[in-house]
Structure 1
Amino acid sequence: MKLEHIGMVGYGEVGKIFTEGLLSKVVDVSAWDLKFDATITPATARDAELAHAAQAGVLATESMKALCEKADFLISAVTASNTLAVAQAAALHIRPGAIFLDLNSASPGTKQQAAQVIEAAGAHYVEAGVMTSVPPYGIRVPMLLGGAQAQALAEKLAAFGMDAKAVATEIGVASAIKMCRSVMIKGLEALVIESYTTARKYGVESHMIPTLAETFPSIDWEATGAYFFSRVAQHGKRRAEEMREAAHTVQEAGFEPWMSTAIAGKHDWMAQQTRDGVFDDLPKGARWEEFADRLIAGTKHR
């Protein structure tokens, strides 16, 4: 298994972190993102992305085809809703024998469909369940791998200093673990935002939050609240897409995804607040109360 020429599909937060972390481990790192396409991306935004790639030492390719022609190891790091579309696009050009590592937060069924198109093209598909937020860990973020080549790839990635563990030879197991966890984690984020903001509106937060600490003393509820508000405000759209895939996971198991659907709605709502400028100019490291106050102020104009 050769992992000398890495091609990153998706040059967002995760793509940037992974390419930076892998640059010293392989021969070269290339990337493709729709943001590189001059026909759909405004010049200012496109130039900023290209400049970032150039400064990082990443080759920004002109198309998916150009990326696939260079890479023996493709990593897909896009939004959940684009998981299958990216695999289908890559399958048109991927080199036979290449490895396709799918980092995206998608349901087992979606990952199985993606695997079919990649394997039909003569390449090897490996799914990854990324088990926590990437930024604090970088390329050492814990990942669970699934697929026929999962164990061999895990050993190669370990040599790069990555924390990857093979959990199954079949596709769907790693994503099921990830998606079931997401229901809990993204659900807790949604609950905290709704609970804290409502408590703030009633002026009872100083009474309510200590009761959480009494019940769950191992959690710093103030710091956790600030982290949840900030992450959902920044990445609500991506989290909502992930929760829709979690809903698909629940449906694929034969259950009605009432909770997952509601969680996706809450994250979508927070993403809309961000797009509407509700959180503009909040400082980095803002307290949860500052986020809640902006949300409360917004209700006065409805």
Structure 2
Amino acid sequence: MERDLALIGFGEAGSTFCAAARWAKPACAFDPDPSRKQAIEEAGISASTDVRSALADAWIVLSLVTADQALAAAQTAAAFLQPGACWIDMNSVAPDTKRRAAAAIEERGGVYVDAAILAPVRPAALNVPVLLAGNMAETAREELLSLGFTNVRVVGEEVGRASAIKLIRSVMVKGVEALTDEMMSAAEAAGVVEEVLASLDASEKSDSWFRRAAYNRERMTTHGIRRAAEMEEAASTLQSLGVEPVMTQGTVRRQRAAAAPITTERNAA
């Protein structure tokens, strides 16, 4: 039997997926922002006026709302889902939030699948990497493949596992962005942008993250106290340039904490 599709949320992700797929199967979308109704219709699918009507015939639901609305969307939708309908939660929220959303969906007879999108949806669209977790993750993978998604992987049966991978990874990805901004603001203020970037290019090494993670942690354990002191000076430098050393001060704390166990051992000896 042909299963109807519903999208809850029609922002960047929903509109991008829909434009790439041009789904032939019956599909509809609901977004609480009325200004998006025209975009939904232009994408060739029905624009529902509320969650109830969007879910009336839906067997596959992609939840693509903002992170702060992910739990509320699941809790609201739970009452209107068809028994056995699959709620694929693709929002970037914490594992505990996913588990609370799963409880709401499953309590009313729905199927919940934790999904994590690992890259920007533009320009990747349906080729974007997606991780799935939950008891019905394999079924959800097959459904997503039938919708045109090409890079979908099941990572376990425990709801929250996919989102944990996504958000822990984001510590590095978004952290590097924030560090870059802090570094560049200081380099611009000091008038040394070209020299700083050239130095980084000269020292950059391409290596597996398995090796890099182990190497970085060993360096912190061995040299964390000295490096923390150096980074305190770096923080003072940024402050003198009018740049708040938010990330740098965090580095000081992390370096010092990593060295604490070995320092304690030496003092005890």
TM-score range, shorter chain: 0.7 to 0.9
Amino acid at match of 2:29: A
1:112 and 2:112 equivalent?
no
What's 1:147 paired with?
134
Shift of 1:160: 3.4
Q: Is 1:135–2:133 an aligned residue pair?
A: no
**CA deviation vs aligned residue, 1:96-145 (integer Å, no higher than 9, x gap):** 11110000011110000000010111110001111111112101210110
Task: Tell me, yes or no, if the aligned pair for 2:117 and 2:166 is still in contact at 8 Å.
Answer: yes
| Partner deviation per Cα, 1:5-49 (whole Å, 9 max, x = no partner) | 11111111011012223333x41221111102xxxxxxxxx2xx2
Q: Deviations over 1:156-183 (max 9, x none)?
A: 3223331111111110111110110011
Equivalence for 1:175: 163
TM-score using structure 2 length: 0.73
The equivalent residue for 2:16 is 17
SS at 2:65 equivalent: coil
Query: 1:187 maps to which residue?
Result: 175
Match of residue 90 from structure 1: 77
CA distance in 1, matches of 2:133, 2:119: 17
| Corresponding position of 2:54 | 67
Contact 1:107-1:176 at 8 Å conserved across structures: yes
Alpha-carbon RMSD across the aligned residues, in angstroms, is 2.0
AA in 2 matched with 1:144: L
2:64 to 46, 54, 77: 77
Q: Which runs of 5+ in 1 are unaligned?
A: 37-45, 220-257, 263-302
- Higher RCO, 1 vs 2 (CA within 8 Å, ≥6 residues apart): 1
Q: Percent identity?
A: 35
Aligned counterpart, 1:230: none
1:1-302 counterparts in 2 under 5 A? 4-24=3-23, 26-36=24-34, 46=35, 49-162=36-149, 163-216=151-204
Distance between the aligned counterparts of 1:122 and 1:210, measured in 2? 58
SS across alignment from 2:5:
strand
Pairwise CA distance, 1:62: 0.3
8 Å Cα contact 2:115-2:132 kept in structure 1: yes
Cα contact 1:3–1:72 (8 A) shared by 2:
no
Structure 2's unaligned 5+ residue stretches are: 208-245, 251-269
Which piece of structure 1 moves more, 66-75 or 111-120? Answer: 66-75
Identify the residue that residue 217 of structure 2 maps to in structure 1.
none
The letter for the 1-side match of 2:159 is: I
1:3 CA displacement: 6.5
Cα distance, 1:74 vs structure 2 = 0.8
Distance 1:67 1:22 in 2: 19
Q: How far 1:217 sits from its partner (Å)?
A: 5.1
Give the paired residue count: 209
Of the structure 1 ranges 156-165 and 197-206, higher mean CA displacement relative to structure 2 is found in 156-165
1:93 is paired with a residue whose SS is coil
Q: CA separation of 1:22/1:89 partners in 2, compared to 1, >3 Å: closer, same or farther? A: farther
